[in-house]
Amino acid sequence: MSSVSGYSRGQIILHWAIVVLLIVNYVTSEAMEEAWRAFLKGGEAFTLGTAVHVWIGVLVLVLAVVRLLLRKTRGAPDLPPGGHPVADLVAKLTHLGLYACIFLLPIVGMVGWFGAVRDAGMIHGLLFNILMVLTVLHVAGALYHQYVLKDGLIRRMMRAE
């Protein structure tokens, strides 16, 4: 059982910063695909879109490490009481999957880009799709708590405690 009732300001900032950075990287993903195709044909692969995508990916990884360290040192609030065991398990697995994706996406992306490993690029795309599914589950769960259960769960990621 956790001793904290909510997330810290740092945890909240890291959560939303990673969300914004992932959105930016989604927007620049087409530039990366074009650069990869150019690289495979021996052409110029480095563009502004490529640089933005790569460096934001590196930043996501750094912030994910900081976020995990903060979670380990400060903790995180428990799931709200009274939840269904299956729903609680889905929530825990979803969070685990989200953490795995925010670590693995940049790592696999860097292996693909800097190591010129074609399969890593395909895995990177697959991981992104998994991240999207997990994000939909995460948001759906948060909205369910907010509007059906009305337990104020969303406040934990909006206001520091």
3 part of a folded domain? no
Cα gap 60→18, rounded to integer Å: 6
Q: Are 141 and 89 in contact (CB under 8 A)?
A: no
95 part of a folded domain? yes
Q: Are 114 and 61 in contact (CB under 8 A)?
A: no
pLDDT tens for residues 49-83? 899 999 999 999 999 999 999 999 999 888 888 88
pLDDT tens for residues 100-157? 999 999 999 999 989 989 899 899 999 999 999 999 999 999 999 889 988 888 888 8
In total, how many domains does the chain have?
1
| Residue 91 belongs to domain spanning | 9-157
4 part of a folded domain? no
pLDDT of residue 161: 75
